[in-house]
Amino acid sequence: MRKFFTRSLVTDLLLVLVLGAGTVLSVLASGRSWSVVLALAVVLLASIFARHRFPVQAMLFALVVFVVQALLPLPYAGVLFAADLALAVLMYSVIVKSGRRSFWVLLLASEVLFAAWAVFHFPGAAAVDGFVLVTAVMAIATAIGETTRHRRLQLANARARALEAEQRRDALARAAVVEERARIAREMHDVVAHAVSTMVLQSEGARLLGTRDPAAVDEALRTIGVTGREAVAELRRILGLLRESETGTRPQPGVGALGELVGKVRAAGLETRLVVDGAHDGIPPGAALTAHRIVQEALTNVVKHAPQGARCTVSVGYGTPGDPHRTIGIEVVNDGGRGPRPHPAGQSGEGYGIRGMRERASMYGGELTAEPLPGGGFQVAALLTLTSSEDR
C-alpha cells in the first residue's frame, strides 16, 4: 500500500481535489448547468496524473481540452474555471522533467491559444486584461518550475561529486594499503636476509670444523636451528606481502632505538617521555621492527595533529623473556595540551598511518586501537603476540 501511494501520487490527488472542488463551487455559485463543465474538468484534471511520466503529451492533451472549452457556446463562452489551473501545473512539469526545446514550443503554443481566446471572447482592453491574467499565471508556474529544475540539477551534481569523491577516497585507501604492505615487505627483507646469511655462515663453519671441534659444531648447528625457526616464522607472517621487485637492504631499527626516536621528537619541541617495562632480550627482529614503526608513526601523528603544549608518553612493555606466551605492549598517549584543538579530521578519522599501524600489528596476531580520550588527547595502543609458529 505504501509503495502504491507514493509522494508524487499523493501530491497529484491533492491538486485534483483542490482544483475540482474549486470548479464545483464556482459552477454552483454561477447557477449554470454543471454537466458540461464537470465533464471538461474531469478530462482536464485527469491529465495531471500523467505529468510525471509523459509531461509533454499531458500538456498537449490539456491544450486540446482548453481549445474545446474555448469553443463552447454561451453561457460557457470565455469562462475560466479552477480546473484550468491544470495547465499551469502541467507547464511546471514540462520545465522540470522535459527538455528546454519542448518547453519553449509548448509555452509558445499556449500563449498563442491564450491570445486567440482573449481576442475571440473579449472586446478591446478586456482582451488584454484576460491575456495578461493567464500569462501571469503561466509565468509564475514557469518561474517555480525553473527554480525547482535548477535546484534538482544542483543536487544531482552534488551527489555525483560526492560519489566521485568517495570512489577516489576508496581508491586512495586501497593504494595506501598496497604501498604500506610494500614498505613492510622491504623492511622485512632485511630480517629474512640476515637470518639466512647467519645460517649459511654457521653451516660453512660447521663443515670446516668437522670432527676437530664437536662442541663448536654442535653450537653452530643449534644456532642454525634457532635462526631457521625464526626465519620460517617471519616468512609465514609476510608471505602475502612480499613483492617481486623489492630489494631494499638497508638495516632497520629495532626496539633498542626507541630512546633515540623519543629524543628526536623531544628535540623537535614535543615534551615526550619513554617508559620501558622489561628487557628486550630475545625479541625477534621482525617484532622489534614492527614495534619501532608503530611508535614512530604514532609519534608522527602527535607531532602533526596535537595542539600546542601537548605532552606525550610512550610506554613499552617487553614481557618476560622465555615466556611461551610473551607479548609486547605499546601505548602512545598525548594529553591534548592546552592550545586550540586540531580539526576533527586530524585524528578522529582513521587515516593511512593508522591503517598501516593496524596492518603491522595484525602480522603478529595482535591488535591496535586508536581513539580520542574523553578528557582530551589521543591514545594509540597495540599488543603484539610473540608466540612462535610451533606453539600456535
Q: What is the pLDDT of residue 16?
A: 84
Pairing of strands 311-317, 367-372: unpaired
pTM score, whole prediction: 0.42
Q: What is the pLDDT of residue 314?
A: 93
Lowest mean pLDDT among 15-29, 150-164, 247-261: 247-261
Q: How far is CA 244 from the centre of its chain?
A: 33
Q: What is the pLDDT of residue 331?
A: 94
What contacts 24+ positions apart, CB below 8 Å, involve 34-41?
36/72, 36/76, 37/76, 37/81, 40/65, 40/68, 40/69, 40/83, 41/81, 41/83
Residue 291 confidence (pLDDT) above 80:
yes
| Residues 48-89: tens digit of each pLDDT | 888 888 888 888 888 888 888 777 766 666 667 777 888 888
Lowest mean pLDDT among 8-17, 212-221, 260-269: 212-221
**Beta-carbon neighbour count of residue 222 at 10 Å?**
11
State which amino acid sits at residue 215. A
Between 241 and 124, whose confidence is greater?
124
Q: Mind listing the domains of the chain with CATH numbers?
A: 7-121 (no CATH), 255-385 (3.30.565.10)
